[in-house]
Structure 1
């Protein structure tokens, strides 16, 4: 997928960027280079490769360090909901916005 100078102008317009001619040419070269790398990566057959949980897992066994799931702050639900216009069963009630 190669971009054209018109594509760069449209992207710059959508991003509200003002690019000079040299900047536009440089952006075109850089983005086309990026898309070239993506195409090379897509060409590689990865059908038999299992996903990794961590990039280093391909080299050595990695044990993920998981933090214990414990509450670090006291429950202040009642205090936080005192100023709410409507509460039911500990939940904030809000007006329906989607019909």
Structure 2
């Protein structure tokens, strides 16, 4: 797929990007190359290929999911300006 200079200008306008007139041609060439690569990748047979979360074979270290502190609702709501039935009351901001 090949993008024209006019299409690149239209895309830049929609994205609110300022592109120098002298650079539009190189943007068109680069973007066309990216779209061609996506087209080639779309044509590949990926049946049986497992999805990956990361291109490297890495495992994320996670901490144990343990409760470390207790929330004392009554203590926090005691200093709140307005509370009703365990909920914080806030001023209406939208009519």
TM-score band w.r.t. shorter chain: 0.5 to 0.7
Q: TM-score, normalised by structure 1?
A: 0.62
Mark the structure with the bigger radius of gyration: 2
1:37-95 deviations in Å (ceiling 9; x for gaps): 111111110012122344334xxxx5442221234566365527824x66654577897
Q: What's the C-alpha RMSD, in Å, of the aligned pairs?
A: 3.4
Q: Structure 1: where are the runs of 5+ without partners?
A: none
How many residue pairs are counted as aligned between the two chains? 91
Instruction: Find the counterpart in structure 1 of residue 61 from structure 2.
Output: 65
Q: TM-score, normalised by structure 2?
A: 0.64
Tell which has more relative contact order, 1 or 2 (C-alpha 8 A, sep 6+).
2
Q: How do residues 44-59 of structure 1 correspond to structure 2 at under 5 angstroms? A: 44-57=44-57
